[in-house]
Structure 1
């Protein structure tokens, strides 16, 4: 059981703000849990097939929200077009900077101030990761840094909107925070392609209050935007007892993926797997194998030197295939 936090001012303000946008109070309450941290508890027992939460379109933050804000005309003018992701990052940073003037302040006030995704961790912490995870973490850092560098000119174009220098507002740590907010908290919601955006898929939606629901690999839910009710809805396929934490499932992810994408790992995760690096694999090859280079070349050409894992059921098909090929005699190759 968790400690009910709905009396806290930031949650009172959030609920009031959501109500003004058409959200009807649900049976969910923000609470603090010893094992998962902040989450939502239910004040009534939930049965399979029950509606967990229904969040009206007006409460959801999408690229449509961004385009109807003061940033809209600058995004529409900018060439080459910015990505939907950068548009949302820019909006979050600008609204956070606006403080009391932001229409989204009650939501921004409950967002995490910091994140535990690898991109936010110190280098000496990342260096302790197993090699396959360390490599992925470094790729993530590079992605976010390149995103920042490629967006600097666009950020500068927004100067007329701000009294303060845009370089101070849209700095690297601000983008890192906004990127993590979107990466860890958005729900999937497909939007039609707009000419003012680049061709990357526009599938992000920030869903206040609903995004307080934590992940469990052991539950099943149905989540989607309902075109009839114009709301984002979550229906549970699992039972949940009164005053217990309500979970949703972010997907059948192993702990490496959960740490990379969301900054946490799941206890007793049925999708857990151990990644085997290509270095480890090749270390145990007979050094005198004359076909060694040919075998490695075949594996590389068919992309079989990455994503090699052991799960609860033993080695994955990819790992077995790689091992079989490496074990072939010269006349079998």
Structure 2
């Protein structure tokens, strides 16, 4: 394994050898001092619309191009797997093989990650929207149920001492952080399967068109700084500048309008003052805190099923930087808090209550939001008082997520208090009733 710059040079030459057209206005740059690894920099002024690089599909690493698919019987084995498992298995087989066609590419990919999947201690993330989405247990189960039996059945291809669960997690993390869906191939698949069901098409796209895209995945993301975009065209994948880029500026792709919790979970970093931050309210908390203590469990279940059928209730509700409580969340609170007789009338008419904020409803919402704040180990003020000194990047990233979520909650609570009426309406849960269209 060579130095950082040597590996970059070898990879650049590999791109040229594999017919990747590269602009003379870009180069690799070491951004490790910014915790961003390898990135791409403009070496001259680049105009809007200018091509930065073009990749033929033969350069992509996928289940269509990987070496494993060419081994006897493995195409059928891969076809029998679901989700990311086919591509993960292909990468496990090839990632560290010295004879791999993609070795210079694989050599520049990381083997260590700052995503919570690999954190030794998750305490700093307590209360955040990250913990329930890490998926470590589900990933372990996938390895045990899908991957391990294949490894054992093919000792001529796999070595259990090499192709371990740790390697499985590394490959899964690389795919989560670096892979793309080939949108042009998606369109072709859709056209070829017009007679198939939507579900079958979706499965085919998810399983067959996921690919690692060398060079495209070298571009970093920074919220608000996106200046390049990947276009999926018939002749290949083309990265173009979507605005002018000055000499010395980093070339940024976009990973989407993601909150810090999702950036950390998928990519292992966060942005300072992310405008796309949000806070999730667990649907189970709505049920628990809005339902009267003396209400029968059967009625509670009926209300839940009714709201689910009407497309109102969800696993969680999202409050973003607008600090508006979703109308579906308000309607759910009204239904769970309502007397049985009132609920039965809505149910019989196929209607849901309009999201009217009476004092009684606001009091329940306050209880829910304040309860959400209590899930953190410390208050917003505690986080603000601690200063900006962190022992490591994990602590800093967890701090940014907590801060973003708590600010949204605190502001939403303040706004809700300001809007509260001074007295109750004659019916605490009164509200006009409207027809809710089924989804």
Q: Shorter-chain TM-score: what band?
A: 0.7 to 0.9
> SS in structure 1 opposite 2:147?
helix
Q: Distance in 2 between matches of 1:143 and 1:245?
A: 36
Seen in structure 2, the aligned counterparts of structure 1 residues 49 and 297 have a Cα distance that, compared at 3 Å, is: farther
Seen in structure 2, the aligned counterparts of structure 1 residues 257 and 289 have a Cα distance that, compared at 3 Å, is: farther
Deviation at 1:288, TM superposition (A): 4.8
CA contact (8 A) 1:223 1:234 kept: yes
| 2:313 match | 304
Q: Which of 206, 210, 216 is the matching residue for 2:222?
A: 216
Deviation at 1:263, TM superposition (A): 2.4
Q: How does 1:1-333 map to 2 (within 5 A)?
A: 8-26=5-23, 27-33=25-31, 34-35=33-34, 37-38=36-37, 39-66=39-66, 69=68, 71-78=70-77, 81-83=80-82, 85-98=84-97, 100-122=98-120, 124-125=121-122, 128-130=125-127, 132-137=129-134, 140-149=135-144, 150-161=146-157, 166-189=159-182, 190=185, 192=189, 199=204, 200-218=206-224, 219=226, 222-227=229-234, 230-278=235-283, 280-281=285-286, 284-285=289-290, 287-288=292-293, 290=295, 294=299, 297-299=302-304, 302=308, 304-317=313-326, 318-326=328-336, 328=338, 332-333=342-343
Alpha-carbon displacement from aligned partner over 1:160-203 (angstroms, at most 9, x marks no partner)? 236xxx21122100100011111110111146599xxx855322
TM-score by length of 1: 0.80
CA contact (8 A) 2:20 2:53 kept: no
Q: Distance in 1 between matches of 2:128 and 2:36?
A: 29
Seen in structure 2, the aligned counterparts of structure 1 residues 322 and 241 have a Cα distance that, compared at 3 Å, is: farther
> SS in structure 1 opposite 2:88?
helix
> SS in structure 2 opposite 1:252?
coil
Q: Distance in 2 between matches of 1:93 and 1:222?
A: 29
Deviation at 1:86, TM superposition (A): 2.6
Structure ranking higher on relative contact order (CA contacts 8 Å, 6+ apart): 1
User: Unmatched 5+ residue regions in structure 1?
Assistant: 1-5
CA contact (8 A) 2:27 2:42 kept: yes
Q: Distance in 1 between matches of 2:296 and 2:48?
A: 56
> SS in structure 1 opposite 2:22?
coil
Seen in structure 2, the aligned counterparts of structure 1 residues 96 and 286 have a Cα distance that, compared at 3 Å, is: closer
Q: Distance in 2 between matches of 1:40 and 1:207?
A: 15
> SS in structure 2 opposite 1:274?
strand
> SS in structure 2 opposite 1:233?
strand
TM-score by length of 2: 0.63
* Two-structure CA RMSD over aligned residues (Å): 3.2
Alpha-carbon displacement from aligned partner over 1:286-314 (angstroms, at most 9, x marks no partner)? 75564897457534651725231221111
Q: Distance in 2 between matches of 1:80 and 1:43?
A: 44
| 1:3 match | none
CA contact (8 A) 2:68 2:93 kept: no
Q: Distance in 2 between matches of 1:51 and 1:319?
A: 46
> SS in structure 2 opposite 1:235?
strand
